[in-house]
Amino acid sequence: MLGAAQRMGGMTPAKACLLLSLPMVVLFWVGLESQGGFALGLEALVTPSFENVDELLLYYAWWPRLSIALLAGGGLGLAGVLMQQVLRNPLASPTTLGVASGANLALMTATLLAPGLLVVGREWVALSGGALAVGLVFLLSWRRGLAPVVVVLAGLVVNLYLGALSTALLLFNHEVLSGLLIWGAGSLAQNGWDGVASLAPRLAICGLAAWLLLRPLAVLELDDASAKSLGISLKHLRFAGLGLAVFITGSVVSVVGIIGFIGLAAPNIVRMAGARTLRARLLWSTLLGAVLLATTDLLLQRFSGMVATLIPTGAVTGALGAPLLMWLIPRLKLQGDRPPQASGVVITRHAAPHRLATGLLLALVAAMVVGHLVGQGANGWSIIAPTNWGVIEWRFPRVMAAAASGLMLAIAGTILQRLSANPMASPEVLGISGGCAIALILGIYLLPAPSNALLVAIGTLGALATLLVLVALNRKSGFVPERLLLSGVAISALFDAVRSVLLAGGDPRGQQVIAWLAGSTYYVDVGSALLVGSMAAGLALVSLPFTRWLDIMPLGTATARSLGIGLNRARLALLLLVALLTACATLVVGPLSFIGLLAPHMARLMGFARARQHLVGAALIGMLLMVLADWVGRQIMFPYEIPAGLVASLIGGAYFMWGLRRL
């Protein structure tokens, strides 16, 4: 938890709420003045004239929007306190635990497959999706005692996996779901009081329920043994607290979409301002959450006319929440450098790793032959001749790009797993893929017709900028693995916010961005494939001299230093190599693939124990998986395609959750 040292000097929760309310009051007054003045605004609220257009706009749009912002912000602040109390985790919130993304995916699925459910009640659809998401997070982290880092990592992988599923739905149903993009990004725009009438009574009931649970939930501040000695069923109490938080989140998401940042920020701000008891945190977090969201929305309304595209409020709050999360990370009390933990899986060294590598190489060659020569066409399945260049010219770049990206992600994942002594680490978790993706999306939108070479440069700069952020956040702690992974969570949150803003704007380039985010190799030509293949081979060769470090560093800090390794320098060099590998792969197959997790872990299970063997085995497995994913994606729904990165992420995400559950 946050220690007393981080308390804001001389500040109390009441003062913090009052201070942060001042911008809201100013923006409230300025907003009413721009609409005709305070008197007209008050008259429009109390006794609107249906013959005055200004009063109609105030009554049906401005006042409901302010009311829904206050209600949604207060509800998310309350849900954040409940989650943090139940899980004893200052990083728990509706967004970091996957509740909001689960609710959003459930609503998207219902829109496509069962729109009648939305008539029955959107909040119940959202509640079901959010409950399933948080239940999955709970299941993945239960065996580790709901440790803060494990819970946040489980929330991250659930978010990524649900994001991959959402991307798949968007890719094939962009026309139907385009309007849902705006709502899903957190739009507070209202055209009446229906949203307020729906949300207000539910939040009132939830607030009363939270107040009734106040004393039982306060017991969770004790350790489990002390709480059980009081005769309290912790399982039922946690279920009640989390169930209430999920219901609040589902209700908010069903009305306004995904709103990030508030459920994380409000509880931590009031805690740092001195709110120590659960009663105080529930009260002040609810008030502060309402103030923060209303202030953000009023500010956005004030300046939204300066940009040509629509900017949803929820995406803005998410962008603000990422820096807050980065600021909180160095102030968290985590376990420091610790020896590798047993994964629960017995790993034996293969007696003949060279023979095993040869078998994987032959399997890779066979997969590449199938990828080039076997496929479906207008007349069904066929095997083409190797001399049929008209077809080979189209298939070769895709197979080459898939293999090259699999090679780079596998090596990056191997380095990261051995560096952190954590078999569940991956480039996606580190945040390098997200940072690279942010830079590329901004380049596509802001630059007129950027070339492939320019996009490569932009993506590399984005990856390096992410690396600098990682170094700045973790240098003092000596690059402790847990803090590195939490930094990746923050960067991924920022990536989600940027993506939501750009895709909600309705720009025609959004479809291209969605396809790229899904990891399609469709746009790769022969020249680009050869370039990517050459870069992958070069970076793979560069990684080989680091194998001595990778053999020693998993043994722990003391052992590594006793053998003459400068840990900070070694970790920095390895992180730089991971950044370059991940950036180059992300340029080809997007940021969603889990190959960086899957290939190294499978290689270790097969018996590739030493670092050099591990790198080679993971590289072969990574190439094999991506080539097969690309081929399956092209054939399984022919003539439609599922991008290779999306196929790999769906498989890899399931494997990640299985592996995290076994830790």
The total of other beta-carbon atoms located within 10 Å of residue 11's CB is 15
**One domain, residues 136 and 270:** yes
Q: Say what the pLDDT of residue 49 is.
A: 76
Same domain, 272 and 402: no
How many domains in the chain? Answer: 2
Strand-pairing partners, residue 1, are: none
Give the dihedral of Cα atoms 49, 73, 96, 198; nearest 10 deg. Answer: -50
Four-point Cα dihedral 483, 485, 487, 491, nearest 10: 180
Mean pLDDT over 506-517 rounds to 66
Whether residue 294 contacts residue 24, with contact meaning beta carbons closer than 8 Å, is answered with yes
Same domain for 447 and 568?
yes
pLDDT bucket at 74, cuts 50 / 70 / 90: very high
Q: Return the minimum-mean-pLDDT range out of 5-9, 263-267, 631-635.
A: 5-9
Same structural domain for residues 421 and 295?
Answer: no
Is residue 353 in a domain?
no
Q: Does 211 reside within a domain?
A: yes
> Do 480 and 563 sit in the same domain of this protein?
yes
Same domain, 295 and 427: no
Range among 38-42, 176-180, 367-371 rated most confident: 367-371
pLDDT at 583: 77
* 453 vs 21, higher pLDDT: 21
Instruction: Transcribe 32-52 into DSSP letters.
Output: HHHTT-HHHHHHHHHS--TT-
Q: What is the pLDDT of residue 143?
A: 73
Distances (CA, A) of 216 to 227, 244, 316: 10, 14, 36
pLDDT in tens, 294-320: 988 888 887 765 555 567 777 777 777
Look up the domain containing 415 and give its range. Answer: 391-662
DSSP state of 419: H
d(CA 407, CA 389): 26
Helix 262-272 × helix 278-303 angle, to 10°: 130
Instruction: For the chain, give the percent of residues with pLDDT over 90.
Output: 10
In this structure, the answer to whether residues 167 and 43 fall within a common structural domain is yes
Tell me: do 31 and 177 sit in the same domain: yes
In whole angstroms, what is the distance from residue 597 CA to residue 94 CA?
A: 25
Give the model's pLDDT for residue 345: 38
pLDDT of residue 346: 42
Q: Are 318 and 396 members of one domain?
A: no
Mean pLDDT over 432-439 rounds to 78
Do residues 397 and 304 share a domain? no
pLDDT tens per residue across span 458-473: 877 887 788 777 777 7
pLDDT recorded at residue 285: 92
- Pairing type for strands 380-383 and 374-377 reads antiparallel
Structure tokens at 618: 């993971």
Look at residue 10 in the predicted model and tell me its pLDDT. 59
What confidence tier does 442 reach under pLDDT thresholds 50, 70, 90? confident
- Average pLDDT in the 5-14 region? 61
The CATH number of the domain holding residue 26 is 1.10.3470.10
- Tell me the residue type at 577: L
Burial class (CB in 10 A: 0-12, 13-18, 19+), 248: buried
> How high is the mean pLDDT of the chain?
78
Residue predicted with more confidence, 155 or 507 = 155
Look at residues 306, 322, 338 and tell me which one is the last residue of a structural domain: 322
pLDDT at 161 over 70: yes
Question: Which one has a higher pLDDT value, 360 or 513?
Answer: 360
Asked if residue 373 is part of any domain, the answer here is no
Average pLDDT over residues 194-223: 86
Rounded distance between C-alpha atoms, residue 341 and residue 663, angstroms: 8
Q: For 266-285, write each residue's pLDDT tens digit.
A: 888 888 888 888 888 999 99
What is the helix (H) or strand (E) element at residue 375, kind and residue range?
Answer: strand 374-377
pLDDT at 424 over 60: yes
Structural domain includes residue 383: no
Q: Which range among 215-219, 265-269, 369-373 has the greatest average pLDDT?
A: 369-373
- Does residue 380 sit within a domain? no
Position 478 scores a pLDDT of 61
Q: Determine the 3-state secondary structure of 356 from DSSP.
A: helix
Domain presence at residue 312: yes
Residue finishing a domain among 291, 322, 353: 322
Residue 504 neighbours by CB under 8 Å, 6+ apart: 181, 182, 184, 185, 187, 310, 311, 312, 315
Q: Which whole number is the average pLDDT over 637-663?
A: 75
Residue 509 sits in the same domain as residue 589: yes
Q: What share of the chain is helix, strand, coil (3-state, %, to 5)?
A: 75, 0, 20
User: Is 69's pLDDT higher than 70?
Assistant: yes
CA nearest 241: which of 257, 227, 225, 261? 227
Rounded Cα–Cα distance for residues 188 and 596 (Å): 38
Confirm if 242 and 138 have CB atoms less than 8 A apart: yes
Q: What is the rounded distance in angstroms from the CA atom of residue 260 to the CA atom of residue 424? A: 26
Does 285 lie in the same domain as 147? yes
Report how far Cα 476 is from the mean position of its chain's Cα atoms.
25
Q: What would the mean pLDDT of 253-273 be, rounded to a whole number?
A: 81
Confidence bin at 477 (pLDDT 50/70/90):
low
Whether 290 maps to a domain, the answer reads: yes
Rounded to whole angstroms, the Cα distance separating 12 from 607 reads 57
Among candidate residues 322, 337, 369, the one where a domain is terminated: 322
Candidates 620, 624, 616; CA nearest to 648 is 624
Residue 221 lies in a domain: yes
